[in-house]
Chains A and B, each alone.
Chain A
Amino acid sequence: GNSVTQMEGPVTLSEEAFLTINCTYTATGYPSLFWYVQYPGEGLQLLLKATKADDKGSNKGFEATYRKETTSFHLEKGSVQVSDSAVYFCALIRNTGGFKTIFGAGTRLFVKA
């Protein structure tokens, strides 16, 4: 079946530290991959996406590269800020048999000043 596995949180970093949140997936066909972010008290927001192998999605200093050979889509940011504290969700949309979004369990990030 289709699934998404994320590293468990919480992840606690100091401001300006390097961030990596691991995400791997299992899917039939060729899914599109996404990272969503949920800030405290707000709804989920699309952060970035990649629709085919080797694509790199980027937004607000965050990046993730679609690696088909390792079935991964790790989220990275070179220098985190306190305002990046949120829950990050990796997700896929399978492109066969209809479009259904499957989310990972989420990783909570705390950034300390």
Chain B
Amino acid sequence: NAGVMQNPRHLVRRRGQEARLRCSPMKGHSHVYWYRQLPEEGLKFMVYLQKENIIDESGMPKERFSAEFPKEGPSILRIQQVVRGDSAAYFCASSVPGSYEQYFGPGTRLTVT
């Protein structure tokens, strides 16, 4: 049973470019969560999605960041006009409905130059 998959694992972007991070949940999981871990900091919640629905985006920065989880395909976290402060590890997690046990993917390390 494949775990949570994320790609790319490493992403380098210049300031002002767009970053797209993808997450495929575990088989049977329909809930997806995105977290960010800045260098030397803890894991911070960003957004919680179900298929075609954003449940909680209280942790998303107000500008430049968006997330979706379409009916078909992976969940996408999109960062427009990246800045150096966006450099971080972005982790996706998934769970089954009714459970708060979340399983994490390997993360995408974003570096903004």
A and B form one complex: no
Residues of B in contact with A (beta carbons under 8 Å apart)? none
Residues of A in contact with B (beta carbons under 8 Å apart)? none
